Every structure is written in C-alpha cells, then in structure tokens.
Amino acid sequence: MVGAGDLGTTAHDLDSALSTLFALASTWKAIVLIDEADVFLEKRDVHDLVRNSMVAVFLRQLEYYTGILILTTNRLETIDHAMKSRIHVSLRYEPLSIETRVRLWQAFLKKAGLQSDEGNIIDAKLMNELCQRPLNGREIKNIIKTATIFASYHGRTVDVQDVLRVVQTTDDLSEVM
C-alpha cells in the first residue's frame, strides 16, 4: 500500500515513483494499492497546471501498467473522464447497515473493556442510539480510541460517559461541517 502523498508532489517525482513502483510490482507479481488517490483522479482544471501535469503523468503510467492496481477515493464525483475510461472495475461501498454498526460498536467497546462476553455493560437502549448514527468503522474506532485516551489522561479507565462525551463532540462537529 502506498499513499498518494508518498508518490511526490511534482509530475517528475510522480513519474519516477510510479515507474519504480510499477516495475517492482511487476517483478514481484504484486497488487498495488494507492490510498487516497484523489489528486491523480480529479478532473483537470485550466487554472491548475501542476495538478494537470500530474494527472497526465498518472494517466500515461496507468495506460501502460499491466498489473493489478487498486485506487481508493471517496470523491467519485470529481473523477476525470479520461480516468473513468481506464478503470476496469469500480466497487462502491454502501454505508454500513445498523447490524454491522452494532457488531463494530460491540467489538471496539469490548476491546476497550466496556463490553464483555458475559454481558453488556452498555444497555440495549444506548447501544441502539449509538448504532443509529451513520458512522463508518474508522469513525467508531476513533470515538472509542479518543474516549480511552481522554480517560487515560485523567488517570482512570474509560467508561460509558467518556464514550458519550466523544460521540456528542463528534455530533457537534458534524453539524458544523
């Protein structure tokens, strides 16, 4: 896995990095994953010549790469038309179902010591409220992690109130954004 930022910020650096990456991947018969590839996928803009040249380099490299390349993005609406024609398979991940969010909350709460195999430390009503929020797995994990760090900073173990405090802060921030 390579992040888009690891490939350079100029067309020359990108060309060199992709040549090396694709050559190594071909030799090893490896699958390449470029995470957050948005900068290389976005529609070109007459006012942004640097990014346009990077998109052009990426398109050229992509055209001749014969291996498997996975690109991740969460900005589908900005993908350049020329890029779309070079993508063989597109996978879209739908928002998590409530059942999946329940399982994620339970797993992360258990890891933090707030859920056990024997019983639920968080009651069903509160669990239902948590799972109604359209959060993804990363967001759920970050809420639990932040609550744990907050509690640790205050010299105690994490509790339900810490989780609820972080959830409320997350909700408040989401309203602003």
Identify residue 161 by its one-letter amino acid code.
Answer: Q
Query: What pLDDT, on a 0 to 100 scale, did the predictor assign at position 137?
Result: 94
Query: What pLDDT, on a 0 to 100 scale, did the predictor assign at position 15?
Result: 97
Mean pLDDT by 10 residues, the chain (177 residues): 91 97 97 92 84 91 94 83 84 91 92 70 83 93 95 91 90 65
Query: What pLDDT, on a 0 to 100 scale, did the predictor assign at position 150?
Result: 94
Query: What pLDDT, on a 0 to 100 scale, did the predictor assign at position 177?
Result: 54
C-alpha R_g of the chain: 21
Query: What pLDDT, on a 0 to 100 scale, did the predictor assign at position 103?
Result: 93
Q: What are the structural domains, with CATH classification, of the chain?
A: 2-84 (3.40.50.300), 98-176 (1.10.8)
Query: Largest alpha-carbon pair distance within the chain?
Result: 61
Query: What pLDDT, on a 0 to 100 scale, did the predictor assign at position 30?
Result: 97
Residue 34 near residue 27 (C-beta atoms within 8 A): no
Query: What pLDDT, on a 0 to 100 scale, did the predictor assign at position 175?
Result: 65
Sheet order of strands, 69-71 included:
2-3, 32-35, 69-71
Query: What pLDDT, on a 0 to 100 scale, did the predictor assign at position 82?
Result: 82
- Give the contacts of 116 (CB within 8 A, at least 6 positions apart): 110
Query: What pLDDT, on a 0 to 100 scale, did the predictor assign at position 118?
Result: 60
Q: 29: left (phi > 0), else alpha (psi -120 to 50), else beta?
A: left
Q: How far are the Cα atoms of 23, 48, 57, 125, 170 from residue 122, in angstroms, in the given order?
A: 51, 51, 52, 8, 19
